[in-house]
Amino acid sequence: MTSSLPQASSQALAFGSKPPTLLWLVRHGEVETAYQNVFGGRIDMGLSDNGHRQAARLAEHLRGQSLDAIYASPMKRVQQTLLPLLNERVLVPVILPDLRELDFGDWTGLSWDEVLAKYGVSASSWLVELEHGRMPRAEPLSALRQRVEVCLNRILSQHPGGQVAVFCHGGVIRVILALLLGWPLSQLSPFELEYASLTQAACAPHCAQLRLLNFTPWRELGA
């Protein structure tokens, strides 16, 4: 489901005379069938055939944006999602290892049903479990937030007033939104971030506005 935030809300945020930095937060495309509905985390899987088609539609949509920079996770599924866009642009992406997906610990490789059977936890509540340290041997939330915040600060400081695409993962995008909006991570549980989706945030030094959530060009343009 795509959500666009009403423009009226932007009037409540004083960006001042300088334009905000626009962040395009891009989730990778659909992964290989074996890893769908699975807590993949650090497993370095690739895209499915459909995922490659989604990546092509993403590139087609972003072609119309005047991007000043591209940042990306080094993981295979992200790099494959990014590739069609690079075939059309002279921009060289900046690979940031700390944009990699979080480590799900003992949940890694388990399907949603297996987590429910083994731990009695619904897959939809994983953000709550992570926030309260109830995901065995997973990356601590404090460490996740710290590494993502370093990346976010670097991007915003180097591109004031620019337009930047950040290709990464669903978990990382949620952390970025939590940092920008000042929300606990668990409050983002209702926010759907589908494969190959675009989310846009306008960022100024002391405020941020979510302008687009979970837009899927592959659905609008046809995968």
pTM: 0.91
Q: What is the DSSP letter of 17?
A: S
**pLDDT higher at 221 or 114:** 114
Other C-beta atoms closer than 10 Å to the C-beta of 17 total 5
CA distance 12 to 9: 6
Q: Characterize the bridge pairing of strands 69-72 and 207-215.
A: unpaired
Supply the range of the domain harboring residue 94: 19-160+170-221
Q: What confidence score (pLDDT) does residue 5 get?
A: 40
Q: For the segment 1-47, what is each residue's pLDDT rounded down to a tens digit?
A: 444 343 333 334 455 668 999 999 999 999 999 999 999 999 999 99
27 located within any domain: yes
Residue 87 has pLDDT above 60, yes or no: yes
Q: For the segment 162-177, what is each residue's pLDDT rounded down to a tens digit?
A: 999 999 999 999 999 9
2 located within any domain: no
Q: What confidence score (pLDDT) does residue 88 get?
A: 74
10 located within any domain: no
Span 195-209, mean pLDDT? 95
95 located within any domain: yes
7 located within any domain: no
The stretches of the chain forming alpha helices (DSSP H) are 49-62, 76-86, 112-119, 126-131, 141-158, 170-181, 217-221
Split at pLDDT 50, 70, 90, the class of 89 is confident
Q: For the segment 103-157, what is each residue's pLDDT rounded down to a tens digit?
A: 999 999 999 999 999 999 999 999 999 999 999 999 999 999 999 999 999 999 9
What phi and psi values does residue 82 have, to the nearest 5 degrees? -75, -30
Q: How many domains does the chain fold into?
A: 1
Q: Which two tokens stand for residue 220?
A: 């609008």
Q: Are 78 and 45 in contact (CB under 8 A)?
A: no
Q: What confidence score (pLDDT) does residue 95 get?
A: 98
4 located within any domain: no
110 located within any domain: yes
The enclosing domain of 34 has a CATH number of 3.40.50.1240
Q: What confidence score (pLDDT) does residue 80 get?
A: 98
